[in-house]
Amino acid sequence: MRETDIQAALRILRREVSQWQEPVVDVVAKESSDPFRILIACVLSLRTKDQTTAEASRRLFSLASDPSNMLRLSRRRIERAIYPVGFYRTKAKQIHEICRRLLTEYDGRVPDSLEELLTLKGVGRKTANLVVTVGFGKPGICVDTHVHRISNRWGYVKTKTPEDTEQALRRKLPRRYWITFNDLLVPFGQNLCQPVSPYCSRCKLVKYCDQVGVTTSR
């Protein structure tokens, strides 16, 4: 994909994305712009399907929606609320530790910088970037498996890891697309540009795509 093609590709995706289910963090953000809810939803979403994450988030936030009240819940009660998200016991422990740090070091508020967010237990670059962009509306590029795969499949970047992809996109992707890039590519990757045998015959971006690594398509 040539650098000039990215604008056309993302324009098309903006039109197409409405037919697919929104990423769960966007759904949480629409229900509440609270960075704390977005942070916890991001933690719950790791290795968990969106529908499961959405339901678990609603159950948990009905019990507690701020660090102070969340910390009053026992880990066992958090586990019961978020089950069956992946690694629910580990995530319950992480949620407790995150809330403790927020209360002792940040006066109960979620920090708005990538560097500080990365010091929180269970928060990686994907989650930190999502909180910064969705929770605070600040520039950032969230790279998950879909963004990493598709950016390379398009031939827009040539990288080995999501972390490398983030840095490559920060250098190359026009800043005005940073916040929305994940919102567009995640549903696209879940529904059309799938890891194995993507639906290239139905894709309106195929003329811009280098189809790097695609050996079988539908």
- List the catalytic residues: 126, 144
Query: What tokens were used for 57?
Result: 């988030």
- Give the separation between CA 42 and CA 29, rounded to whole angstroms: 11
Scan for tokens 């993302």, then name that residue.
10
**What does each C-alpha distance from 122 to 39, 87, 116, 166 come to in angstroms?**
10, 11, 13, 19
- Give the separation between CA 94 and CA 91, rounded to whole angstroms: 5
